[in-house]
Structure 1
Amino acid sequence: MQYTVYILVVIGVIILLSSFVTVKQGTIAVVTVFGKYQRLLRPGLNFKIPLIEQIYSRISIQNRSVELSFQAVTQDQANVYFKAMLLYSVINQDEETIKNVAFKFVDATNLMQALIRTIEGSIRAYVATQKQANVLAQRNEIVLHVKEQIDQVLDGWGYHLQDLQLNDITFDEEIMRSMSRVVASNNLKAAAENEGQALLITKTKAAEADGNAIKIAATAEREAAQLRGQGIALFREEVAKGMTNAAHEMQQANLDTSVILFTMWTEAIKQFAEYGDGNIIFLDGSTEGMNKTMKEMMAMQLGQNPPTKG
């Protein structure tokens, strides 16, 4: 009798202790009664009816990730190899959502298999409509396509696709080598075009500089020629005035004007020889030639300045 009491006490203690359930943070426990859904237990210390209520499963509401590695074929029959990271979680903590998560699949392994195959199938279907040359540039388009196709399916399972990252997209080795050659040739082409543009700009600038230099030199030469012409004209005018004044003075003094003419003639020959820069000038060195030349010069001066009548 005494042993029976001890046994009953122990059984009672065990039953009492089993009626308390601890649920970890980030987890929700699903309770069933004789195999039928009954209620949810939130994080913390919870009480359940001993021997009647059972913990069917514990659902994590935290984010979960899984790595994917699979192959797809493009429209032009190129093999594409993907390595991706999938981030997903339970949509929310509502009772209906947790019931979907708990009872849609037999276990987590079946859920994971269905999730991975669905993601892979969506990506393969999209890649099959694209050409190999376009796949690398369409990472974002692939992710958006998968989210649009998968979100509705996952919603029925109680899950939400948080993120899909395509970490690596590769092709067969031969295709990778050909793509590298294409990139290298494009880079060489771009470099050649840039060098050509730089050379064109350099030559254009140099031509503009030469043109400006020629314009400046021509302007300076024109101004210098004008100044030389003005100087020569003034020189001739002064020479003519001096010759005329000297001749008038010698005539008033009853002196022979041939002396001054001879002096001016010899001075002119000296100037020709000193500043001629190698040019050849033919002069009549005879007395008649000198008189003829000087008289012509005097006549030109007198013609420009006719004497006034007294």
Structure 2
Amino acid sequence: MGYAIVVPILLLGLFIILGAFFTVKQQTAAIIERFGRFQSMRNSGLQFKIPFIDRIAGRINLKIQQLDVIVETKTKDDVFVRLKISVQFQVLKLKVYDAFYKLEHPHDQITSYVFDVVRAEVPKMKLDDVFERKDDIAIAVKAELNQAMSEYGYDIIKTLVTDIDPDIQVKAAMNRINAAEREKVAAEFEAEAERIKIVAKARAEAESKRLQGQGIADQRREIARGLEESVDVLNNVGINSQEASALIVVTQHYDTLQSIGEETNTNLILLPNSPQAGSNMLNDMIASFVASNQIGEEMKKQNLKKGIVPKKRTKPETPERPEEGEDLS
């Protein structure tokens, strides 16, 4: 009989002892009530309470928490857009009582303030401004939340606009605009590159023509100097100018035929190769010069009869060689 009474008493005592002690986790606060009234706040560690009199009314998380709120609203240019606002908040250790007893649902309260601020700020902006001034929206939300939630023991650490999602049709239109703008820029760069290539090519061709002309002028100058020296050498040995010119023309004629024959890929060319061919060419050239001079003199005489005075030339005339013409005629 005594054993049956002792066992329940021991079990009841053990239950009372176990109910008197409790633990509180790190970064957590426990609210102790006595007969339904606030008694104390307990921090992390092993704690004691009076069994059947004190009770744990609740626990408050003191860590930094984040609440994501998605708000749909309209911009100034009548574009519907969805914004994701991330609010980072924390319960102040010195205001755990206010956070537990003054506010029933803190997340709903924060969400309401976020909706109110975003729907007051975004309709003042155009869609492009929403993307550019998202930091201004976040600052406005934080200022409003700090002012409202500090009374309830909550500290708003930071607010972020983490996503801006316009209507799908508006997003497609924006993508088309961006694509067209990029194509325009690409076309401008391609046109500029093509213009640079054309200018560079034209400059290169102009420089090439200039150098080519200079080379031809130098070549002709050297040829003339060589002919002059050849004529002087032939004159010294008793050969007159006409015979010297004929000899030089014939020599160049055969030199040309030799150079053509040496080219393996040269097409077939028919040229006169008789010994008198060079002399005939020279006589033909001289005859054409003489005929041209005679025609010019005849035209001057006719103009003088009509009373037409020839204008003076601004550039010096090329000296003619009448001596050779007289000798050859």
The TM-score normalised by the length of structure 2 is 0.67
- Say if 2:277 is the partner of 1:282: no
Distance 1:116 1:296, change over 3 A: same
Distance 1:161 1:188, change over 3 A: same
Distance 1:283 1:199, change over 3 A: closer
For 1:185 and 1:57, locate their aligned partners in 2 and report how far apart those are by CA, in whole Å: 60
Greater CA drift, 39-48 or 12-21? 12-21
Count of equivalent residues: 266
For 1:293 and 1:219, locate their aligned partners in 2 and report how far apart those are by CA, in whole Å: 29
Amino acid at match of 1:179: M
Q: Which residue of 2 aligns with 1:178?
A: 173
- Once the two structures are TM-superposed, the CA of residue 80 in structure 1 deviates from its matched residue by 1.0
- Say if 2:93 is the partner of 1:98: no
Amino acid at match of 2:245: A
Q: Are the equivalent residues in 2 in contact too, given 1:61–1:89 (CA < 8 A)?
A: no
Q: Which residue of 2 aligns with 1:76?
A: 77
Matches within 5 A, 1:117-132: 117-132=112-127
- Once the two structures are TM-superposed, the CA of residue 54 in structure 1 deviates from its matched residue by 2.8
- Once the two structures are TM-superposed, the CA of residue 274 in structure 1 deviates from its matched residue by 5.3
Q: Are the equivalent residues in 2 in contact too, given 1:91–1:155 (CA < 8 A)?
A: no
Distance 1:118 1:269, change over 3 A: same
For 1:117 and 1:217, locate their aligned partners in 2 and report how far apart those are by CA, in whole Å: 84
Q: Which residue of 2 aligns with 1:45?
A: 46
Distance 1:295 1:130, change over 3 A: closer
Amino acid at match of 1:102: F
Q: Deviations over 1:195-223 (max 9, x none)?
A: 21221122122122223323332333343
**Residue 268 of structure 1, aligned match among 222, 232, 245:** 245
Sequence identity percentage: 22
* Higher relative contact order (CA closer than 8 Å, sequence separation 6+): 1
For 1:217 and 1:131, locate their aligned partners in 2 and report how far apart those are by CA, in whole Å: 64
Unaligned stretches of 5+ residues in structure 2: 254-277, 289-322
- Backbone CA RMSD of aligned residues: 3.5
For 1:293 and 1:190, locate their aligned partners in 2 and report how far apart those are by CA, in whole Å: 70
For 1:198 and 1:293, locate their aligned partners in 2 and report how far apart those are by CA, in whole Å: 59
Amino acid at match of 2:286: F
- Once the two structures are TM-superposed, the CA of residue 71 in structure 1 deviates from its matched residue by 0.7
Distance 1:268 1:208, change over 3 A: closer
Q: Which residue of 1 aligns with 2:142?
A: 147
Q: Are the equivalent residues in 2 in contact too, given 1:80–1:171 (CA < 8 A)?
A: yes
Greater CA drift, 41-50 or 264-273? 264-273
Unaligned stretches of 5+ residues in structure 1: 247-259, 285-291, 298-310
Q: Are the equivalent residues in 2 in contact too, given 1:88–1:159 (CA < 8 A)?
A: no
- Once the two structures are TM-superposed, the CA of residue 123 in structure 1 deviates from its matched residue by 1.9
Q: Are the equivalent residues in 1 in contact too, given 2:29–2:62 (CA < 8 A)?
A: yes
For 1:38 and 1:226, locate their aligned partners in 2 and report how far apart those are by CA, in whole Å: 120
Amino acid at match of 2:70: S
For 1:196 and 1:132, locate their aligned partners in 2 and report how far apart those are by CA, in whole Å: 33
**SS of corresponding position for 2:50:** coil
For 2:125 and 2:135, locate their aligned partners in 1 and report how far apart those are by CA, in whole Å: 14
- Once the two structures are TM-superposed, the CA of residue 122 in structure 1 deviates from its matched residue by 1.7
Q: Which residue of 2 aligns with 1:212?
A: 207
For 2:234 and 2:150, locate their aligned partners in 1 and report how far apart those are by CA, in whole Å: 115
Q: Which residue of 1 aligns with 2:313?
A: none
- Once the two structures are TM-superposed, the CA of residue 163 in structure 1 deviates from its matched residue by 4.7
The TM-score normalised by the length of structure 1 is 0.70
Amino acid at match of 2:111: I
